[in-house]
């Protein structure tokens, strides 16, 4: 396992992070299986676990808490808030009112007295940066969080939050967690340069592109991944973006074969090759999935392989732009762009 410094924090983290979104009902992973995955990940040298309150409405955090009991100090523990936690309208977002409650709920489910990294799951257009940063700074001073970061923020919102922190002498976001893969390279044009400018650690999620780069999705083969069952539209080849992705996958498979790599090694090696990326988040549902992804822990792609990838998917290009999660709200909701 390789390790890097998380932004400018001085904290050493593994280049592969164990994501726990699939723990519980989302991934149909039992507590026994989740604990086995955590055991194997820690044994392999992974020292970061990433979860969120919204994963299974707290189920993932509870399972992570049980799996790490007695060895909490051996790892960097990260969770998130912002997404709805129930029907009540104020049990979501990034207001002080909610973040204080949400963090206490997460700590209780995890069975710990602090988390190392607390992340705002998405930018909240209804809440000012100052409101959120004041709350996070107070929680940090109270010892409940060590650091805080953002997740899937547009580049201009990352800049705005950094400015607000400096202007108001508050703690600042020290990490960003964006979606990044060979098939979704849009953040290379803006988010990654901004993260490098401000010295942010970057934890990239969906490096296997929802299973497209797992090796299980190939031309002429029935798609039977867990993601395809949850989101069949993402694998419907009648949709032009999916047809384009399949064509890219077939060409990438040839690159991987020539280099003597699995598709997973190619995909994870690509993500961790970017100088702006600290770690890639993997989300195995089984120990078998984990072991196939751990094969990429030491993968360093040579220049000719990276060049070949660039010829298939150009730098800064998203092959499925409709699946971006950092699109400004006004482009999605007509009410926000009309009087």
- Domains identified in the chain, total number: 1
Q: Note the pLDDT of residue 312.
A: 98
Residue 197 lies in a domain: yes
| Cα separation of the two ends of the chain | 54
What's the whole-number mean pLDDT along residues 131-137? Answer: 98
Domain with 319 in it: 3-331
- Residue 115 backbone phi and psi in degrees, to 5: -115, 155
Residue 339 lies in a domain: no
Looking up residue 261, the CATH number of its domain turns out to be: 3.20.20.100
Q: Note the pLDDT of residue 227.
A: 62
SS3 89: coil
Spatial contact of 234 and 242, defined as CB atoms under 8 Å apart: yes
Report percent pLDDT > 70 for the chain: 98
Residue 338 lies in a domain: no
Alpha carbons 117 and 41: distance in angstroms, whole number: 19
Residue 165 lies in a domain: yes
Residue 248 lies in a domain: yes
Q: Note the pLDDT of residue 229.
A: 60
Q: Note the pLDDT of residue 116.
A: 98
Radius of gyration, CA atoms only, the chain: 19
Residue 41 lies in a domain: yes
pTM here is 0.94
What's the whole-number mean pLDDT along residues 154-164? Answer: 97
Single out the catalytic residue among 3, 55, 134, 180.
55
Residue 337 lies in a domain: no
Q: Is 55 a known active-site residue?
A: yes
Alpha carbons 55 and 89: distance in angstroms, whole number: 18
Residue 227 lies in a domain: yes
Other CB atoms within 10 A of residue 66 CB: 15
Is 90 exceeded by the pLDDT of residue 307?
yes
């Amino acid at each position: 396992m390789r390790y890097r410094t998380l932004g400018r924090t001085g904290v050493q983290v593994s280049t592969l992070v164990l994501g726990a979104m699939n723990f519980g009902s989302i991934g149909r992973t039992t507590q026994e299986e989740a604990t086995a995955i955590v055991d194997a990940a820690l044994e392999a040298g992974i020292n970061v676990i990433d979860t969120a309150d919204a994963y299974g409405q707290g189920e993932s955090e509870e399972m992570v808490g049980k799996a790490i009991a007695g060895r909490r100090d051996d790892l960097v523990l990260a969770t998130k808030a912002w997404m709805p936690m129930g029907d009540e309208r104020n049990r979501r977002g990034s207001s002080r009112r909610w973040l204080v409650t949400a963090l206490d709920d997460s700590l209780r489910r995890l069975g710990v007295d602090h988390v190392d990294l607390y992340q705002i799951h998405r930018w909240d257009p209804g809440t000012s940066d100052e409101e959120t940063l004041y709350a996070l700074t107070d929680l940090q001073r109270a010892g409940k969080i060590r650091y805080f970061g953002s997740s899937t923020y547009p580049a201009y919102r990352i800049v705005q939050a950094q400015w607000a922190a400096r202007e108001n002498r508050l703690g600042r976001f020290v990490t960003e967690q964006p979606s990044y893969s060979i098939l979704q390279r849009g953040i290379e044009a803006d988010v990654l340069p901004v993260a490098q400018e401000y010295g942010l650690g970057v934890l990239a999620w969906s490096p296997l592109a929802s299973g497209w780069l797992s090796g299980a999705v190939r031309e002429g083969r029935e798609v039977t991944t867990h993601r395809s069952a949850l989101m069949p539209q993402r694998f419907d080849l009648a949709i032009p973006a999916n047809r384009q992705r399949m064509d890219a996958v077939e060409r990438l498979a040839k690159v991987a074969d020539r280099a003597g790599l699995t598709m997973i090694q190619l995909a994870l090696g690509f993500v961790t090759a970017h100088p702006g990326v600290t770690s890639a988040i993997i989300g195995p549902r089984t120990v078998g999935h984990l072991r196939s992804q751990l094969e990429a822990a030491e993968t360093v792609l040579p220049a000719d392989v990276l060049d070949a990838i660039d010829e298939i998917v150009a730098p800064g290009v998203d092959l499925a732009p409709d699946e971006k999660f950092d699109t400004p709200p006004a482009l999605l909701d007509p009410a926000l762009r009309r009087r």
